[in-house]
Amino acid sequence: MARALFDPERGYYTRHIQTVGARGDFSTSATLSPSLGAAIAAWIKAESRIQPRLRHVIEIGAGDGSLMHSVRKALGWWTRRRFTFHIVETSPVLREQQQKRLGSQVHWHTDIESALAQAQGHAFIYHNELLDAFPATLVQWSAAEQRWFEVWVPESLHPHEIDAAHYSVLRHTAFKDGQRCEMHPSIRDWLRNWTPQWKGGAMLSIDYGDEFPQLYHRRPHGTLRAYLLHQRLTGADIYANPGRQDITADINFTDYAAWLREFGATQITCHTLADLLRPHGAPPQLLDAEGAGSAFKCLVHRPQACA
C-alpha cells in the first residue's frame, strides 16, 4: 500500500493523482462545500482565545488547497494577519495545485517536523482525510487457531510480528472466523516521530472511522477499498490498478486516541462531522445522519501542558 500510494516514480499521490473533487478520483468534504473551512476557522478562533499568543496554523495534507483557501477566507482579513500559515504536503502534484491556488500566502513543508520547527513547537494543527491515506496492515482472524494472521499480497496468510499491546484488534478474540480488520502502525510511527516537538496549540483531526470494535459491525471483509474515477473497488479489484487509484481504510479511533495519550496529548472533544458543520450552513449530504455526517469523526487534542 505504501508503494502503491507513495513510490517516488509510480505512486498514486506522488505521480498519478490528477485532482481532488468532481473531476478527480474522489471528493472530500472540503471540495463539496466551504462550510468545513468556516467550521475550522471558528475552531481556530475559539482556540486562539484560550492560547492568544499562538501565531502559527498548520494544515497537513491539503489536497488541492480548497480547505486552506476556505479557512483563510472565513477567518477574515484582520484575523488572517495574526497568523503564519503552513501546509505539509508530500505530493508534488498536489503541492503544485496548492501553490497555484494560494500563492505566497502559505509556507510549504514536506514533513510536519519542519513546520513545527518554524513555529517553535507552538501551532494550531488540522487535517481532513489525512489518516485514511496512511498504509494499513490487513489481518484476518482464524477461529480454529484462535489467532490473527497478516494478509500478504498476493493474498496468503502469515503469522504477524506486531506488538498486540498497541493495537486493539490483536487483543480481540470474539470475531467470527475469517473476519478481516486493518491496523495502522504507520500512523503510530508518524505520531511518535513528531509529537515530542509539539509544545503548544491544538490539533483537529477529521476522518472517517469509528471506535473499536463497532468499526467492524457487519463488515466481515473489513474496510480496505480503492477509488478510481469515483468508483469504489473492493476485494481483488483493489490490486488491479496499483499506483493509479486511491487506496484507503477506515480509522480505528480507539487506537488513535490511545496513541496520542501515549505520546503526551490530551483529548478535549470528540464529535461527528455533522456536529462540527451544523452551525456553518453545510449542505444536507454533509449533515446526513446515515452518511458522512456520522461516518466522519472530529477529535481535538492538545499537548498535556496546554490541556
- Bridge-based pairing of strands 225-228 and 246-248 is antiparallel
Residues 6+ away with beta carbon under 8 Å from 206? 29, 36, 126, 127, 128, 129, 273, 276, 296, 297, 298
Cell numbers placing 97: 495545485
pLDDT by residue (tens digit) across 3-43?
999 999 999 998 877 655 555 555 556 555 689 999 999 99
- Check if the beta carbon of residue 306 is closer than 8 Å to that of residue 202: yes
Contact 54, 48 (CB under 8 A): yes
Average pLDDT of span 113-133: 97
- pLDDT recorded at residue 15: 80
* Ordered domains of the chain (ranges, CATH): 2-130+190-306 (3.40.50.12710), 137-183 (no CATH)
The pLDDT, as a whole number, for residue 19 is: 58
Confidence band for 1, pLDDT divided at 50, 70 and 90: very high
Count of CB atoms situated within 10 Å of the CB of 27: 16
| Average pLDDT estimate for 120-134 | 96
pLDDT-above-90 percentage for the chain: 79
Closest C-alpha to 86, from 103, 64, 109: 109
* Spatial CA neighbour of 80 closest among 56, 52, 60: 56
227-259 residue pLDDT tens = 988 899 999 999 999 999 999 999 999 999 999
Could you tell me if 285 and 257 are in contact, meaning their C-beta atoms sit under 8 angstroms apart? no
**What single-letter DSSP state applies at residue 176?**
P
Q: Angle at the Cα of 68 (from 91 to 187), degrees rounded to 5?
A: 50
Identify the burial level of 118 via C-beta atoms within 10 angstroms of its C-beta, where 0-12 means exposed, 13-18 middle and 19 or more buried.
middle
